[in-house]
Chain A
Amino acid sequence: MSDLPLTFAKVSYAVGATPILRDVDLVVRAGAPTFIIGPNGSGKSTLLRLAMGLIAPTSGAIDWNGSRDPAPRRRAIVFQHPVLLRRSVAANLIYALDQAGVEKSKQDRRCTQLLDLVGLIDLASRPARRLSGGERQKLAFARALARSPELLILDEPTASLDPSATLALEQLIAKAARDGIKILIASHDLGQVRRLAGEIVFLHRGRVLESAAMKDFFEQPRTAQASAFLRGDLISEE
């Protein structure tokens, strides 16, 4: 069972009368990371929550490899502010492995592998809620990998991290991408986009204005809004 390709067909999402996303068509296929970029309030987080299946579209349809069942199979998400369980670092991972259906006999070994990968092995018995921001984000990343995802969704995972923690997380993201995990990520950091992106989806006021390969987007943005966004201008209202 696969979660890719992920397809949005004319997806709209509204809260009450306020539209957040409008008529989004999008196909996410295996390959290099896809970055969702756009100004604050453009609907990035909502798009990712829809992609994860945490919320349902107001209209239109989302399917994961043809299935419209939103129950997560081979996908995982890391939030900007991940919520960790009130137990140790290792227990958080064991919990995720258990939920992902990993056999009990293999959980300890996998847990150690993941902690080693993200560099938290020395903190295994620490209470997860007492970790620093960067450590939390690494644990959330390891917890997402515990699901052996094909599609890994990241919602501005480095937005509140310092440069060294950001670098560490970017390295983890790059490695996951090399290992064949499809990354779908929202980011504000254009440097990060240049370092990691394969494709760009540019969101503006709830609409997908551009969807292009990274180089093309940076060299020849097709819309005035995208050009303005890249110049760092405040985007005008319309």
Chain B
Amino acid sequence: MMEGSGALDLVLSGDPALYAIVRLSLVVSLSAVALAALIGVPLGGLIALTRFPGRAGVIVLLNAFMGLPPVVVGLAAFLLLSRSGPLGSWGLLFTPTAMVIAQAALITPIIAALTRQSVEDLWSEYRDELNAMGVGPLNRLLTLLYDARIALVTVLLAGFGRAAAEVGAVMIVGGNINGFTRVMTTAIALETSKGDLALAMGLGFILIAIVFAINASAWALRYYAERRIG
């Protein structure tokens, strides 16, 4: 296993090129989660608490969009951001910003759909008490989002996991440019096809470690919160 020991050396030696890739991955995916949360959390909460014609259709659509193929989201973002596209004048294609937008588009439905579910479940539990206290619509939304805070952190971590692990969308809108838009997943795809398995495996280890850390922290948070908050 020559590649295996080479991969471990790369990870342990703190290879600057490798860590630049890891850093960009984290920056892009965390920014995407922040952007998606800004849209998805209020949207999910609103859908949970309002009744309007076609609501069931919106919910089905949102749930279906949780499984959007990243390459298709990447393609749509590419068409929007390319020179001749509607947002072409922004000049964002093949930049980290484009990658943030594409990943945010990918995970906004996940965050909105899971938020809706959490808030709606909590509402059915809280409805009588909040109505008895005369809580108005805006306060109701804020109260439920706050009281669902632990579930929402888990929702955001799920979104982050999805964003960090996808390769199709960032490949298409980022272009996998060395030192500029290359992230872990696109680097793994490239290095594997080039035959540099040591770097690919090194990145693979780190990606798995990050995903593991996310899940462990989600579990720990839930465990702690259930004991502390109930």
Tell me the A residues contacting B by CB distance below 8 Å.
49, 52, 54, 71-72, 76-77, 79, 82-83, 85-87, 95-96, 99-100, 127-130, 147
Contact = CB atoms under 8 A, between A and B. Distances in A.
A71 B146 CA distance: 24
B228 interface: yes
Of B132, B143, B229, the most chain A CB neighbours within 10 A belong to B132
Contacts, number: 49
Contacts of B133: 72, 76, 95-96, 99-100, 147
B229 A83 contact: no
B125 interface: yes
Contact of A99 (B134, B149, B229): B134
B131 interface: yes
A129 B83 CA distance: 55
A155 to B, nearest CB: 10
Between A85, A100, A128, the greatest number of chain B beta carbons within 10 A of the residue's beta carbon is seen for A85
Contacts of B125: 83
A87 B229 contact: yes
Contacts of A129: 229-230
Contacts of B131: 54, 72
B15 interface: no
B229 A52 contact: no
Task: List the 7 closest A-B pairs by CB distance, nearest first.
Answer: A129-B230, A99-B133, A86-B147, A130-B230, A83-B129, A77-B132, A86-B229
Contact of B128 (A54, A100, A128): A54
Contacts of B147: 85-87
Nearest to B122: A86
Contact of A72 (B126, B132, B143, B149): B132
A79 to B, nearest CB: 7
Interface string B27-51: 0000000000000000000000000
A49 B147 CA distance: 24
Contacts of B149: 86
A85 B143 contact: yes
B135 interface: yes
Contacts of B146: 87
B138 to A, nearest CB: 12
Given A72-B132, A79-B128, 14 more contacts: A49-B128, A54-B132, A76-B132, A76-B133, A82-B129, A83-B125, A83-B126, A85-B147, A86-B147, A127-B228, A128-B230, A129-B229, A129-B230, A130-B230
A71 B230 CA distance: 30
A104 to B, nearest CB: 15
Contacts of A77: 128, 132
Contacts of A130: 230
Contact of A83 (B128, B134, B135, B228): B128
A95 B134 CA distance: 11
A127 B128 contact: no
